[in-house]
Structure 1
Amino acid sequence: MQLTKMTRLSLAVAAALTLAACGNKEEAPADASAAQSGAAAGEVVKLGFAAPLTGPQSHYGEEYKNGVTLAIEDANAEKPTIGGKPVTFELVAEDDQADPKTATQLAQKFVDNQVSGIVGHFNSGTSIPASKIYSDAGLPQVAMATAPAFTQQGYKTTFRSMTSDTQQGSVMGKFVVEKLAAKKIVIVDDRTAYGQGLADEFEKAVKAAGGEVVKREFTNDKATDFAAIITSIKGTAPDVVFFGGADAQSAPMAKQMKRLGLKAPLVSGEMTKTPTFLKLAGKEAEGTIASLAGLPLEKMPKGGDYATRYKARFNADVATYSPYGYDATRVIIAAMKEADSVKPADYLPKLAAINYSGVTSAAWSYDQNGDLKDGGITVYKVEGGEWKVMETIGGAGAAAAPAASAAQ
């Protein structure tokens, strides 16, 4: 009986040792695999991204983010090496809610988390206050912001991914006077950095072209009832009503203008030239005119291929901003490769001097302020419920003159 107990004890111990040994054998390959995976991945390079991902402007931010996501996936598929070792780019995306205070908090968070570059913010009103924090940290920022003030602060870390409103406003002001034969013009803006900045530049150009601004009104970026403003401006019998702001406001404005009998067409900027505007405004969208920086997607250097790949990846059509987010991300990565370093201080000079062939431009490069050299504006009009090209003005040097003149 005693021998049987000992035998059983010995067998139990042996079994336990065997199981432990098996466990160690199973863990060893897993650890080795993890080590090999880490070696293959090399350094993880974090790129910060901020835009409105919730709220009434979330459709802008989500599409913008999709472009950045696709750029990072494409870059990683190329198995890049920088500084003699493989790198993997990682997107760190945050929702700034189109709110300046939230944007500055996120900017400090990005700096504290030691991201290597910033794509964003989307809005001028968030990009401008955040840019001070990035500048103090020496962290390059390529933003969608179009307000002139963004690159007029003297920061060496601020760059655009779209044409400045200095150019867009000046082109559109001249366009409505000379091409639409408008003489009496009303201007409304939403008092954001973007909306007011665009309206200011538009007003300068209207007056320079011989047009008259008969009334200027303002609202805010949360408003949806414009009856009082429309009633106020209707008596001036304007030829055109220009709105500086987003589609969440321009769509109900377009509907209410038609319903209150104001026959002047609504003219606006790129935040109105969206599928969302068409959906929100419905049949009252007809006749609305909007400008957009750059070429139409089908005429962009790599627009066709991008549209196909975007559709396959996100099961959606390109709206407006994703190609610019894509190029902004690839430009930062290209600068890192040229510098052979992911350190902001090392690649910042390369970014400033970049000459990159991207989706939106075959010659993406910056002037001394961080503004794009290769600009151009396309004017669209809603016809039959769709945005259709009216005219493309400038680009590849032809549009540089009005932009430079306005900047002076």
Structure 2
Amino acid sequence: MKMKLIGFAIATAFAASAGVASAQSVVKIGHVGPLTGGIAHLGKDNEFGGRLAIEELNSKGLTIGGKQVKFELIGEDDAADPKQGTAAAQKLVDSGVAGVVGHLNSGTSIPAARIYSNAGIPQISPSSTAPSYTKQGFKTTFRVVANDGQLGGTLGRYAVTELKAKSIAVIDDRTAYGQGVADEFEKAVKAAGGKIVGREFTNDKATDFSAILTKLKGAKPDVVFYGGMDAVAGPMMRQMKQLGIDAKFMGGDGICTGEMAKLAGDAIGEGKVICAEAGGVTPDKAAGIEDFKKRFKAKFGIDVQLYAPYVYDAVNTMVAAMQKADSTDPKKYLPELAKINYEGITGKIAFDQFGDMKDAALTLYTYKGGQKTQMMVVK
């Protein structure tokens, strides 16, 4: 009889523990960015922002739909390549993710968006700024930063009205992001009465710019705008200095990184570069961002590069929508995501009918003493 009671007790304890296990739910959230290639430092920065968000969410022991949830970040590398990006997107869909934060680049986010839409999986990009990304008509597509129309337009107007530039040259890397932001910059310059003295292009893996820079040198530009990423912009600035082109250097968020000063070396100058980050932290959010940066460095041993705070906010926004819907099923929480009003560390996150940010902020930066230095937040 005693043996039977012991056996019953063990069986009961096992059943109880099994019940706890079955009441837990693993929720996969995908992240995609370039973890290899010239801008791998930005891709890793993004992924680390997501991993910090996941770790902190799991420490809260959230319950959704009557089950305690454990979030898991599934990271994929798209190498900033559209073909690899769509393969990564399909892989995430096949793995059963409940949502995706990514991709970093517009050129990979745009084709991947169709795959996520077909699967009914919400996608929030923390850094893709091409206007066409959200204009494809997909209800699953969102972003938590300003688009190139806002970013390029602000920089174009600033070049003419604040820098009083008389002759402006434009270079882009022919990617969806680089060409897009350069086009918007050029439109804004012309609308403000400025003069474009040259438009050239390179590619996102180029290292020699002597031909296009020599051509532009003859036009004597007082501003050179580059649409592309820091891995190309830094060496381009070095060659500008070698050729004696003494112009202000402007660009979008792709060049507005902590690495830019290292990549440009002594060509970075003092206040020579003016760039804009698609996002902005007003003074009331400054303490929260500084706290995030400290937690980030304590966890990963490196400084935030650029978009980690926006990835962090994107993950938390997605989970906030799940909590409102009391479901991790994409079909059920997607309507809540579309009408979310979430107070993130970067500011208020709310989307318009396209999935673009309402009242998106931009931050203008320069470099002083080799350090990225904030100038102003504009909306």
- TM-score interval for Structure 1 and Structure 2 normalised by the shorter chain: over 0.9
> Of residues 374, 388, 405 in structure 1, which corresponds to 2:359?
374
- SS where residue 275 of structure 1 aligns? coil
**8 Å CA contact 2:281, 2:346 repeated in 1:** no
Match in the other structure for 1:294:
279
Aligned mates of 2:196, 2:168 — CA distance in 1: 5
**8 Å CA contact 1:270, 1:291 repeated in 2:** yes
Deviation (angstroms), 1:289? 1.4
Aligned mates of 1:377, 1:393 — CA distance in 2: 5
Deviation (angstroms), 1:28? 8.6
Normalising by structure 2, what TM-score? 0.93
Match in the other structure for 1:351:
337
**8 Å CA contact 2:282, 2:377 repeated in 1:** no
Match in the other structure for 2:227:
244
Cα distance change of structure 1 residues 48 and 214 upon mapping to structure 2, 3 Å threshold: same
1:207 aligns with 2:193: no
- SS where residue 387 of structure 1 aligns? strand
Partner AA of 2:307 in structure 1: Y
> Of residues 316, 320, 334 in structure 2, which corresponds to 1:330?
316
Deviation (angstroms), 1:294? 2.3
**8 Å CA contact 2:129, 2:278 repeated in 1:** no
Partner AA of 2:317 in structure 1: V
What percentage of aligned pairs have identical amino acids?
A: 51
Q: Deviations over 1:180-230 (max 9, x none)?
A: 001211100000000001001111100000001111000000001111111
1:223 aligns with 2:206: yes
- SS where residue 204 of structure 1 aligns? helix
Match in the other structure for 1:386:
371
Partner AA of 1:229 in structure 2: I
Question: Where do 5+ consecutive residues of structure 1 fail to align?
Answer: 1-23, 395-408
Q: Judge which range, 142-151 or 285-294, deviates more.
A: 285-294
**8 Å CA contact 1:380, 1:388 repeated in 2:** yes
How many residues matched? 367
Q: Deviations over 1:295-329 (max 9, x none)?
A: 25976352122122112211222221100000000
Deviation (angstroms), 1:375? 1.3
Give the alignment's Cα RMSD to 1 decimal: 1.9
> Of residues 47, 51, 55 in structure 1, which corresponds to 2:29?
47
Match in the other structure for 1:317:
303
Cα distance change of structure 1 residues 193 and 266 upon mapping to structure 2, 3 Å threshold: same
**8 Å CA contact 1:255, 1:281 repeated in 2:** yes
Aligned mates of 1:248, 1:271 — CA distance in 2: 9
Deviation (angstroms), 1:389? 2.1
Match in the other structure for 2:239:
256
Mapping of residues 42-121 of structure 1, within 5 Å: 42-121=24-103
Aligned mates of 1:366, 1:346 — CA distance in 2: 17
Partner AA of 1:332 in structure 2: M
Aligned mates of 1:300, 1:103 — CA distance in 2: 33
Deviation (angstroms), 1:31? 6.8
Match in the other structure for 1:166:
149
Partner AA of 2:357 in structure 1: L
Aligned mates of 1:37, 1:244 — CA distance in 2: 53
> Of residues 38, 53, 60 in structure 1, which corresponds to 2:21?
38
Aligned mates of 1:197, 1:283 — CA distance in 2: 29
**8 Å CA contact 2:144, 2:349 repeated in 1:** no
Partner AA of 1:295 in structure 2: G
Cα distance change of structure 1 residues 231 and 33 upon mapping to structure 2, 3 Å threshold: farther
Deviation (angstroms), 1:86? 0.8
Aligned mates of 1:310, 1:265 — CA distance in 2: 33
- SS where residue 204 of structure 2 aligns? coil
Match in the other structure for 1:278:
261
Partner AA of 1:303 in structure 2: I
Aligned mates of 1:390, 1:80 — CA distance in 2: 39
Aligned mates of 1:354, 1:313 — CA distance in 2: 29
Aligned mates of 1:235, 1:169 — CA distance in 2: 25
Partner AA of 1:97 in structure 2: A
Partner AA of 1:306 in structure 2: F
Q: Deviations over 1:4-26 (max 9, x none)?
A: xxxxxxxxxxxxxxxxxxxx9xx
Deviation (angstroms), 1:107? 1.1
Task: Tell me which structure has the larger Cα radius of gyration.
Answer: 1
Partner AA of 1:317 in structure 2: D
Deviation (angstroms), 1:269? 1.0
Partner AA of 2:354 in structure 1: N
Partner AA of 1:248 in structure 2: A
**8 Å CA contact 1:67, 1:322 repeated in 2:** yes
- SS where residue 344 of structure 2 aligns? coil
Aligned mates of 1:275, 1:298 — CA distance in 2: 21
Question: Where do 5+ consecutive residues of structure 2 fail to align?
Answer: 1-6
1:339 aligns with 2:321: no
- SS where residue 271 of structure 1 aligns? helix
Cα distance change of structure 1 residues 97 and 31 upon mapping to structure 2, 3 Å threshold: farther
**8 Å CA contact 1:358, 1:364 repeated in 2:** yes
> After TM superposition, which residue ranges in structure 1, 4 or more long, deviate above 6 angstroms?
27-34
Aligned mates of 2:114, 2:158 — CA distance in 1: 35
- SS where residue 280 of structure 1 aligns? helix
